[in-house]
Chain A
Amino acid sequence: MNVTVTINGAERSADVEPRVLLADFIRSDLGLTGTHIGCDTTSCGVCTVLVDGTPIKSCTMFAVQANGRSITTVEGLKQNGDLSAMQQAFHEQHGLQCGFCTPAMMLVGTAFLEENPNPTEDEIRWAISGNLCRCTGYVNIVKSIQAAAQATTEGANA
């Protein structure tokens, strides 16, 4: 079947079997390997992408279901060639170690701050509780999202 999506702002098409998972479609057919696969059961969240702005675990969605929709992956986070506030915050706050969960964490964090620009620590922890990390104990991931929230708010007020 032909699947056409807008991914990180660009329209892309490929012919895939109906059973092909969105994660495989993004990684193999579209060649964007920043989206990872960690569990196949919607548990770990490392495959999370934004579909029409909403975080979706792409290992549990078929590529055909994304037909005609707009997808954002980690490769699309940069804005005007610069790191986004979220990317910058993960770097500044040491929000990543092995980097495997990082693209998904940043995407979830980005979508969450759209909804809730001034979250509490508990709200951040709840928001990322669908995404596992084995390296950081979540401490600096939470700090990164807090720092991104602050940077975004300050940027908007400036």
Chain B
Amino acid sequence: MTTTAEPHTPPEIGGIGHSRKRVEDARFIQGRGNYVDDVNLPGMLYMAIHRSPLAHAKILSIDTSAAEAVEGVIAVVTGELLAGYNLAWMPTLSGDTQAVLATDKVRFQGQEIAAVIATDKYIAEDAATLIDVEYEDLEPIVNPQRSLEADAPLIRDDKEDQETNQCYEWESGDKAATDAAFAAADKVVSLETHYPRSHPAPLETCGIVADVNPATGEATLYMTSQAPHAHRTVFALVAGLPEQNIRIISPDIGGGFVNKVPVYPGYVVATAASLVIGAPIKWIETRTENLISTGFARDYYMKGELAVSNDGKIEALRVEMLSDQGAFYSDAQPTKFRAGLFHIVTGSYDYQYAYVTTRGAYTNKATGGVAYRCSFRVTEASYMIERLVQNAAYEIGMDPADFRAKNFIQPDQFPYETPTGFVYDSGDYEAALNEAKRIVGYDDIQAEKEAARKEGKLVGVGIASFTEVVGAGHGEDYDILGLKMFDSAELRVHPTGKAILKLGVKSQGQGHETTFAQIVAEELGLPADDIKVVEGDTDNTPYGLGTYASRSTPVAGAATAVVARKLRDKAKTIATHLLEASEEDLEWETGKFFVKGDPESSVTIQDIAFAAYTNPAPGTEAGLEGVHYYDPPNMTYPFGTYIVVVDVDAGTGQWKVRRMVAVDDCGVRINPMVVDGQIHGGLAEGYAMSSMQHITFDEAGNNLGSNFMDYLVPTAWETPRFELGETVTPSPHHPIGAKGIGESATVGSPAAYVNAVVDALEHLGVRNIDMPVSGDRVWAAMEEASG
């Protein structure tokens, strides 16, 4: 097993590998954070939105007169008004279109119809309730199966070329060869399951303070944005504003989880209203608005099959997936991958054939398809393969850990090309599995499980040995609306040797201000404490695609390392001048250049920085600054093994996590403390989705999870304890060998939790319980199995 290497830098430098305490904490623990709702500008007005109570209905009329009559109301904005500015519809980051304010019909419950601008938020909300809309009911479509039937009403009749409710169809792999492998297989193991609709629900809802200066036309937009630069470009395209006049400031963000990647109608309406009225306008969602109208995740109906030989070798995989996309498809979506990166569904295993088909269907629900704490659709794919593999082990009669080990891609097979076309960069899957087995005491717990069964007690052991794909991505394959998915870093070392690093990504709690300074500290030898990190202001940071899909470390982290190396190269040139030595005679050690064989003859990076402004070498450009746009050569592929032990109550079906062991391999760890924190959060969200967190709709399309009393998010009381372990397999193509960690635990853990519950009932013949695995579902599965 490999473990984290000792840091190369002393603690006072604080480079890679140090659990440096976070610099951003100081403001948060003293109540001095600055979230969007904390931004207050002189003369600011407030906006509230009137939303549709119906899921699918034609709009016959909209009467705003009562709202307009309320004292303190400045304006009421409707779609008809926006249409006059060509703003009633907008493009989405996935290349679809979305209504800003509905004009023709409503397509989901909670859809935006009109907005009230008032002097006070209470008045705005009062007046919004007085808007009277007359509807003609249409059939609500609440699942993708009905949506794709020939006689289903067309949801997107606004789109000229849209003749059915199909949103996309996509395939990957070799169908003929895969079918042939299945036809010849000893055994075929299949699993049909639903990955339920979930909502990221960061504790801060979405919002904006839009401030369009009527004198200059400059728009300053304080927005809950995980991707401020991409959003600026979208605003330029949507609103027709010159891009240099748009400044998006994404201040502190109270959690994102991809909820804050799409552009929402409220942002656009507030900006348009500020432009017309000439005053700053604040719009902050209520929790209910957040849960009923912003991007949903998951809702995949999946059927997977594995072809397996009698001796336990996986030979082929076949998966059909149907997703419920809601009324508009609005997530940031790589152009080439209409169904996201679902083809990671081949997992950590070595076999030749796979064939995957995915279809997405429009329904009368809020926009779907956001990649909630995962790369586009990787969570669902990982869940499918890890559930299938567990069931295959049962059919073959092998221990599920042994079955995995027998089928793993081996370390010497990397780079490994999968049957669906990914090239995995590096991995040592068995090392992670063995470490997880060691921590949990695998053989003992399996023996205890067998003994418990004899006493009528139900213990289950669930494994997931996932492989993730993150770090989108190389520009050749990955773009959003044509914008290549590079990211950027600009580094300026000041004359006194202090520095500022500016990034195109945007932290929402991941701790970039701490960890990205550590990358610079590692490369330049400047103390991390001397480096300020700035993000989230499009006027003052280089262009980037933003923070989601665990891409900040793989892409912007690489850009940071490369720009620091560029400056070190320039520093070397200056050092030759200062030391009167040739470049070949100079050697670098943390923080200084010295003359080979004469370590006393040295110059520190701080001396060099001062010289860059006061005494640059003749003929060299002054200054010690640079910028780099990093286009990654490949994705990175973090992996790990999670093992969950559960106790299931045989009488009620209630289950409790006894152990949750998570061994992650995310390559080189920049800040182990922050990495562990990311894993903790992901494991909790994985538990949430496995056990309680889902949003359902009734037949009329009413959202049944519109607040935190109906949409259950785990508290400290329900959340299990976690035990973490690690292996370190660096990414060979990343400048510092890091792979990204923000989402591994959300991706990998749901299958481990569910596999554990199923394992407890495996001897009864139970092979599947759909998430959320609530006690009543477990009880029903036991009842059905025992006939």
Q: A98-B508, A100-B204 are in contact. Are A91 and B21 (CB under 8 A)?
A: yes
Cβ–Cβ contact B509 & A99, under 8 A: yes
For chain B residues 221-257, which have a beta carbon within 8 Å of chain A? 252-257
Partner of B203, one of A33, A126, A133: A133
The reply to whether the CB of B380 lies closer than 8 angstroms to some CB of chain A is no
User: Chain A: which residue is nearest B201 at the CB level?
Assistant: A134
The reply to whether the CB of B425 lies closer than 8 angstroms to some CB of chain A is no
Q: A43-B708, A125-B717 are in contact. Are A94 and B674 (CB under 8 A)?
A: yes
The reply to whether the CB of B482 lies closer than 8 angstroms to some CB of chain A is no
Q: A39-B707, A98-B509 are in contact. Are A134 and B29 (CB under 8 A)?
A: no
The reply to whether the CB of A146 lies closer than 8 angstroms to some CB of chain B is no
Number of interface residues of B (CB under 8 A): 57
The reply to whether the CB of B287 lies closer than 8 angstroms to some CB of chain A is yes
Cβ–Cβ contact B511 & A129, under 8 A: no
A41–B121 CA distance with the chains assembled, in angstroms: 17
Stretch at the interface among B535-543, B629-637, B677-685: B677-685
Nearest-Cβ distance from residue A86 to partner chain B, whole angstroms: 9
The reply to whether the CB of A48 lies closer than 8 angstroms to some CB of chain B is no
Cβ–Cβ contact A139 & B680, under 8 A: yes
* Residue among B40, B708, B716 with most chain A CB within 10 A: B716
For chain B residues 1-46, which have a beta carbon within 8 Å of chain A? 21-22, 24-35, 37-38, 40
Partner of A33, one of B22, B29, B31, B685: B31
User: Chain A: which residue is nearest B284 at the CB level?
Assistant: A37
A83–B783 CA distance with the chains assembled, in angstroms: 56
Cβ–Cβ contact B122 & A17, under 8 A: yes
A69–B682 CA distance with the chains assembled, in angstroms: 40
Nearest-Cβ distance from residue A92 to partner chain B, whole angstroms: 7
By a CB distance below 8 angstroms, the chain A residues around B681 are 97, 134-137
Nearest-Cβ distance from residue A31 to partner chain B, whole angstroms: 8
Cβ–Cβ contact B287 & A97, under 8 A: no
The reply to whether the CB of B510 lies closer than 8 angstroms to some CB of chain A is yes
For chain B residues 317-340, which have a beta carbon within 8 Å of chain A? none
Cβ–Cβ contact B255 & A136, under 8 A: no
Q: 0/1 per residue, A25-69, Cβ < 8 Å to B?
A: 001100011111111110110100000000000000000000000
Partner of B252, one of A87, A99, A138, A141: A99
Q: A19-B122, A44-B708, A100-B204 are in contact. Are A74 and B30 (CB under 8 A)?
A: yes
Nearest-Cβ distance from residue B281 to partner chain A, whole angstroms: 16
The reply to whether the CB of A106 lies closer than 8 angstroms to some CB of chain B is yes
Partner of B29, one of A37, A73, A91, A139: A91
By a CB distance below 8 angstroms, the chain B residues around A141 are 716
Q: 0/1 per residue, B254-292, Cβ < 8 Å to A?
A: 111100000000000000000000000000001110000
Partner of B509, one of A38, A135, A139: A135
By a CB distance below 8 angstroms, the chain A residues around B716 are 124-126, 128-129, 131, 133, 138, 141-142
The reply to whether the CB of B715 lies closer than 8 angstroms to some CB of chain A is yes
Q: 0/1 per residue, B116-136, Cβ < 8 Å to A?
A: 000001100000000000000
Nearest-Cβ distance from residue A116 to partner chain B, whole angstroms: 15
By a CB distance below 8 angstroms, the chain A residues around B34 are 33
For chain A residues 81-105, which have a beta carbon within 8 Å of chain B? 83, 87, 90-92, 94, 96-103
Nearest-Cβ distance from residue B612 to partner chain A, whole angstroms: 35
A74–B677 CA distance with the chains assembled, in angstroms: 23
A87–B684 CA distance with the chains assembled, in angstroms: 24
Q: 0/1 per residue, B673-699, Cβ < 8 Å to A?
A: 110110011111100000000000000
Partner of B713, one of A83, A92, A134: A134
A28–B38 CA distance with the chains assembled, in angstroms: 9
By a CB distance below 8 angstroms, the chain B residues around A37 are 37
A46–B676 CA distance with the chains assembled, in angstroms: 24
Cβ–Cβ contact A41 & B708, under 8 A: yes
Q: A94-B673, A135-B509 are in contact. Are A87 and B30 (CB under 8 A)?
A: yes
For chain B residues 368-386, which have a beta carbon within 8 Å of chain A? none
A24–B201 CA distance with the chains assembled, in angstroms: 22
A73–B29 CA distance with the chains assembled, in angstroms: 11
A102–B35 CA distance with the chains assembled, in angstroms: 13
* Residue among A73, A83, A138 with most chain B CB within 10 A: A138
The reply to whether the CB of B719 lies closer than 8 angstroms to some CB of chain A is yes
By a CB distance below 8 angstroms, the chain B residues around A33 are 31, 34-35, 37-38
The reply to whether the CB of A78 lies closer than 8 angstroms to some CB of chain B is yes
The reply to whether the CB of B202 lies closer than 8 angstroms to some CB of chain A is yes
Instruction: Give the A-binding residues of B (Cβ under 8 A).
Output: 21-22, 24-35, 37-38, 40, 121-122, 201-205, 252-257, 286-288, 508-511, 673-674, 676-677, 680-685, 707-709, 713, 715-717, 719, 721-722
Instruction: Give the B-binding residues of A (Cβ under 8 A).
Output: 17, 19-20, 24, 27-28, 32-41, 43-44, 46, 73-75, 77-78, 83, 87, 90-92, 94, 96-103, 106, 124-126, 128-142
Q: List 19 A-B contacts (CB under 8 A).
A: A28-B40, A33-B34, A33-B35, A36-B35, A36-B254, A38-B205, A39-B287, A40-B288, A74-B31, A98-B203, A98-B204, A99-B27, A99-B252, A131-B716, A134-B202, A135-B255, A135-B509, A137-B685, A137-B722
